[in-house]
Every structure is written in structure tokens, then in C-alpha cells.
Structure 1
Amino acid sequence: MARSGLVPLDQSKLSMGMLVSYATSAGATADDGAGRNSPYAEALAKRLRAPGEDVGLMLRRVRADVLQATGQRQRPEIVDNLNGPVILAGPVQPGPPGRVDDPRADDTALWAAVRDSNRADDFEAYLRRFPQGLYADLARIRLRVLQPSPEGRSFNVVNRTGMNLTALHAVRSPLGAQQEWGRSLLASNRPVRPDASYGVSPADGAGCRFDLRVVLADGRESVLLNQDICTRRELEMAAPPRPPIVPPHDPDEQPGATEIGRFKAWTAAAYVTRGQKTCYAFTDAAGNFEPKQNPVMLMVSHRPSARDTVLISAGYPFPAGAKVLVTIGATQVPFDTVGKTAAAQQGAAVVASMRNGPELRAAGAGPGNGEQVTYSFPLAGFAAAYEAISRSCPPSPQPAP
């Protein structure tokens, strides 16, 4: 359907060094006027030959004239992509002897032309011309009103995990990378359902970079770090990949691990080596690392030679003699490291704490330069997974005395 009025120029196609002046705003029609010329043409003819005047300033004076002549009905617009000042009517004519030009005159004239505008680009143009001008502070205040900072605006977290979210954390970067997530934003009885969104309203001055963490109903976690919420107002949280069914590293292992079951964040499995069955439960970590490069897993196994072996497989070698400090609730236990693994000395005691704790956190040397990192392992489902491997690999009967 056709419509009357000015069709605006696509500003993305405006080349550098160009300036376009419209007689009125987009979608509106310009007045013809009662005289020989329209209000815009009359103002332009009046101002066009002002000697030594920058074209941007001249056109803003034209707009002020048109606004006054039409009672604010007709609002000329300017798209300015010039690289510097452009003078159309030659140099400034010298004044009479003894006269000193006031350097504030252009400043005041341009401010008079833009001060009643509701367009942010007018005040940006003033500040480009007079960054330290008489009215620069007022121009910046108007800019903040017309073009508020994206900081502090709300953004949406969209649940694309396929199941309910039971916890959601949003903290300023790099707090998430440091595992300082704070309290969940969700009430305990108000999960975020699949494909639903949750609005987050940062505090004023919080900045643009945020870290996000969600906990799924099965206990798994999904993390996004260093997200720019000023340019992306909607962030989608996807489900983390489930860990593969791979037995712990053993030089003599035989292929063919068999899954026993999945219990929220934990998987129980078994494999057979030289006729001896090993059962184990494992989960993957959430933390400030790249899972594809450095898979980090927590495992508890029952082997024919040892039960309740608790290992953290880091996927990278620890420094010689390094310790990993494991925290479960109020309990802290140091793990010894050998190669790419960290192991508990008293596995049964660690398992007992794991069965009652919400999560296990492990702090130790990271990959590469050994900078300290912290990994968080969910314990939701561990008790059930542990029972499953204990049934599948029961303790060997004790010999009769």
C-alpha cells in the first residue's frame, strides 16, 4: 500500500564524507507555505550564503527557522557523515577595525539550534564540534536521557536445555570464572520450564559483561562466561553434553564399558578386564575451562583390588607434588596427584561426605601455566549411582575365620 510522506534514506548506505538534509522527518510531508517558497526553502536561501559557516551549523539554523515558522509541525532532519567542517560560502569577512570576534558565538548559536531537539544525534553533533563547549555538560545530560546506557537494562535467559531449571546465577565477569556464583535467582518452588525465559535486571553500574550458570533438574550444570548483555539482550542456555561411557584409564582395560544407569548428574557403568569386573560412577565438571580440550571428571569406583576409590581425572598433567583441595560442605580433604589424576587417600570417608553433600568443589593447578582453577561437581544423583555400582559389584565375601 502506498503512503505519502518522505521516504528516509537507508543510513547504512550513506558513504563517508556525505551529508543529507531532509525538509521534514520521515513519513511526514513538508509545508508548501503561503509565499513564493516553502518554509524550508526560504530558511535555506536565507542561511545558505552565511560566510565562513560550517554547513552542519548552517543546516541546524535552518531547522530552527523551520520549526519556528511552522509552530514545531515540520521538523527537518539531518544525516551527517562528514569527516570534518565544510564551508560553503567562503571565509569569514573581517569585522570593522577594533572589533574582536567572540569565539563563543558559534557555540551558542549551535546550542540554540539543538537544545530543544529530541534526537540524540543532534547533541552528538554539538559535542563533536564543541567537546569542551559552554553547553557540553548539558549536551551530555540530554544524551543520557535520549540514549540511556545499555548498562542496567534487563536481559532474558532462555531455557533451551529441554528440562526444568532449578537454579540460575548471573554475576559480573569474572566472578563466575572464579566460581563466585552467589545465591540462585530462582525461588525453590519456581523452576524455569523448557523454552521459557527469565528476566534478569542488573543493578545500575553493573557493566555489560556477565557470567551465567544454570542447574538442570537432573543436577547437571550449564555455564556461559563473559557474555555481553549490552549487545545481546537474550541469552540461550543449552544442556551440557552427557559424558561418554568411557572406563577410567587402565593400561590393561578391555573395550566395551556397559551402562548400568543414569541418576541425575551421575552415570553408573561397568567393564571387565581379564575376567575381573570394575564398576564406577562418574560425572563431569562445570568450571572455568574448555571441556573439549580438558575434560574433567569425578569418579568413584569399585575394583576387585580396592573399593571406594575416588579420583578426579583432569585431562592434563598436574605439576609434580601438587595437591588438589576438595571441599564438600564443611569438609575439606586434600587429594594427592599423579600424572593427570588426583586421588583421595581415604576414599570411604570422602564417599560418605559425597552422599550427603550438595556439590564437590576441587581447587588446584589448571592446564598450561598452572594457574589456580576451581571445578564444581554436582552430587545430585550420586547416592543412587553409588548404590547401583555397589549392587553390581558387591564386596567380596570375607573368608571364614
Structure 2
Amino acid sequence: MVDSRYDLPALETRRALRDFANAVRDADIAVVYYAGHGIEVDGANYLIPVDAKLERDADVYDETLSLDRVLVAVDPAKQLRLVILDACRDNPFTRSMKRALASRGIGRGLAQIEPSIPNTLVAYSAKAGSTAQDGDGSNSPFTIALSQRLTTPGLDVRRALGFVRDDVLKSTGNRQEPFVYGSLGGEDVPLVPVKAAPSASSAPPPQAEMRHDYELALQIGNKEAFNFFLAQYPDGYYANLAKLQLAKIAAEETRAAATEKARLAQQEQARLAYEGAQQLQLAKAASDLRAAEDARVAAEKAKETAQEQAAQAEQRRAAADAAAAKNVAPVSPDRPRETKVDAKIAALPAPEAPAPPPQAEVAKLVQAELRRVGCFTGSANGEWDAASRRSLELFNQHAGTKFDVKAASVDVLDAIKLKPARVCPLICASGFKRDGDRCVRIACAPGYFVNDDNECEKRKVRQSPSARYDRSPSARQERREAPATPKAEASAGDKPKGGGMPFIPFFLP
């Protein structure tokens, strides 16, 4: 039994663990794989659900799940209890969480653990006290190594995890070392057993077995089923069919995400218009909506193309099966039914690989994603110009990637989609300031203006010479009628009353 859950809140995670414990009550092997964020507090490990806020360090005990709770879920298994934690990433809550107690220790990565339950292994993506890397692709180095090693038929789980360690060390330049805690007995415990070789009389034809497994994956219809099929049959006719089905599923996921983003952009534009936002904000919202709509239309076209290719391949397969069925030999009482289906299907040409989307559509999608993470301010028009190249350079600088900026690619698009929030810092123009994740105009009080340092400065009022000395007749009359100052009166007393020259006495010898 394989049960996959994604983006669960705390309550749903607890329910999933309880249901899993009930399901593996009679199982020999129980495996829990968790990918997300974890945190170590005072030497204990906790897994963080998607609805956790963790505003204070004490919230860890209420909003997260302890690793011990996961170990309880795998306890009923008889032969092997395996917990794989791809959760040793740099915890985003550590920097913003308020500390209620200064003595409460919050570690880097996860803490070392010694399982008390026998036959239990706990595999960390990075050694205790260190953090794991997300990688440049859609999956982390640890996840890639797990998918390649754990599915090897007949390989003991300890050797498989050892190979995972070697692969991750090599791909990360010895910067990340996965680690396994716990112990097992002396017998080999493979997660995928080796199929017993059937006798020549009862063994089904290899191509018929592959066809049966493909049709089973087609009935399940999700990514996990087709990925498991490709792990068993990586090449051949049915492998190509499975890849077309995966491309169809991926195109539908991209379309759903683009549709949701366009809906949110439309809501944001309506909200700003209702609140009477400034023209700059309205223009930005309209630009975001156009970019989201362009991405949605491109995703719709890509989905239709992928669906058409998968449908055509299935039609060709059905026609081939019908033609092969005519070559079945008649049944006689002393001879079993013989079939020639294998020879016919093996001779069929491989279906065409899904055509890559046009370069302009890829560039438009990359531009839209670069806008979402704050690295691009232009319009998503599909023209990969100098501004687009500079925006990808900014993304490389702040995301730690090394993509070629000369052209947009699907790898670049996948890497940007993995970033859930802004990557490039918000830079506001002169006269604007940061307000959360947007720029708003700086409003100064009357008599003040925004200076070159984006600060409000009081405006200095300077009078002109004409304003300081009024030569109008009315002003002259006012000055004549104005009372004399003491200094003026004293000066007037020094003058002779007759109005002539002052008298200066002198004596002759």
C-alpha cells in the first residue's frame, strides 16, 4: 500500500499518521517519507506543517508534530520501520520567531536521534546539526539519489542508503552528508524484493507483463504510478507511452497553477480599484494581470498539445493491440494457446516524444515567473531582451544558481517555480518607499518635500529684494507716518533747530 499526501495542515497530518498506523498493523515493512521543514528545540525534533505560524518559540509545542509521533506510526511493522526525513533545510522561522526564554536552544538542522524501538532506521537528508541543499532542479540531490537507489530490486536498505550518501556527497561537492540513525539485524532487508524467476512453462511473455503493468499505471493515472512504472521499465515502447502520460499530467498542473495565479491577479486589481489606489499601483496590478493571463493562455495551449499527443499514442497502441490479437493461434485440446503479440508489439515504432513548447512561450513563462519573485519589472511578452537577461542575472545572484542568461529554458522555469516567495530585493524609485512587498509614494506634510535621501525636508521660504523693500506710494506714506525710534529721536536732537549746520565753538589764541 502506498499513500501520498501533500501540503497537509497539522490536524490532517495527525489523522494521516493515525490511519497509516492502522494500515500497517500486520505489515512487515513500514516506510514514512517526509519532505518539508523541521526544527530542533532543546534537543528534540519537530516537523512543521503548512499551517504553522511559529510567532514564538513556545508555539513549536502546539503547532508542530514531534518526530516521536512519526515513530509511533511505524511501530506496528514487524521487520523494518523506516522514517526518511528530507527536512534538514535552513528553517525560515528561526529568524522571525520571538524567544520567550533566552535559554531555549534552537539548533541548525535536526538533532541526533537514537531510536528506542528495535529494527528502526531514521534517515536524515543531512547529518545532525547541518542543513541540506535544495539543488538547481525540480528535486533535491537527496530525493534524486533516493529514487534511484531504494527502488533497486533485492538491494538491502542499509546498502541502498549508503549509496544515497555517496551520491549526495558527490553531487554537492562534499557539502552535504546524509546520515542514518538506528540499527538492524544481520539479514538483508530490501524494500523491493527480487521477483522469483518463473518456470519456462508458466512465465508470461516479457512484453505482455510490461503491457499489463502499463495498463495498471494508466488506470491509476497519477505521477507516482507512471514514475514507478518507468523505474521498472525505463526504456522501450511502453516507457515512451508512460512519458507522454507524465507530460500530460505536468501540463495540467501547470495550467491549474497559471489559472489560479490569474484569478488572484484579477482579485488584486479589483481590490485596488475599489480602495482607490494610486495610478502607479493600478498600472502595476494591470501589468501583473496581463502577464498572468498570458501565462495561463500559454499553459492552456501546452496542455492541449500534451493531451492530443497522449491520445494519439493511445489510439496507435489500441490499433496495434487489435492487429496483434488477430495473430493468436487457435486452441486445440492437446496444445495450449500460442500468441504472437510480443513480436508484433516489439516491432511497433516508438511514439513521438512530446514536442517542446515554442521558445517564445518559454520566454514568456520565465518572464512571468521572474516578475513573481521580484526580479523582473517589464511585461511578459516573450522577447528575451537585455532587460530579461539582466533579470535572470539578478535571480542567479540572489538564488545561488548559475543558469545561462542568453536564453530562457524549461530548466530555468522549473527552478524559479520552486521559489515560493520573493527572491530579488524590492528596489523602489526616488520618491517611493517599501511597504511590505510593494512600493508606495512618500507623503510629506504641507510645507515639506521629499529630498534626495527619500526623507521629508522642510521647504525654506526666501523673500526677493522687491518683497523686502516696497517702493509703492502707500508704503512710503506709511513709513513717513510711522513713529520715530529712540535712535531716530536722538539723532534729531543733535541737529540745530534752525535746520542749518551745527554750531562748533572755537577759540583764537
Task: Specify if TM > 0.5.
Answer: no
Structure ID, larger Rg? 2
TM-score (norm: length of structure 2): 0.24
Larger relative CO (CA 8 A, sep 6+): 1 or 2? 1
Question: 1 or 2, which has the higher helix percentage?
Answer: 2
TM-score (norm: length of structure 1): 0.29
Question: 1 or 2, which has the higher strand percentage?
Answer: 1
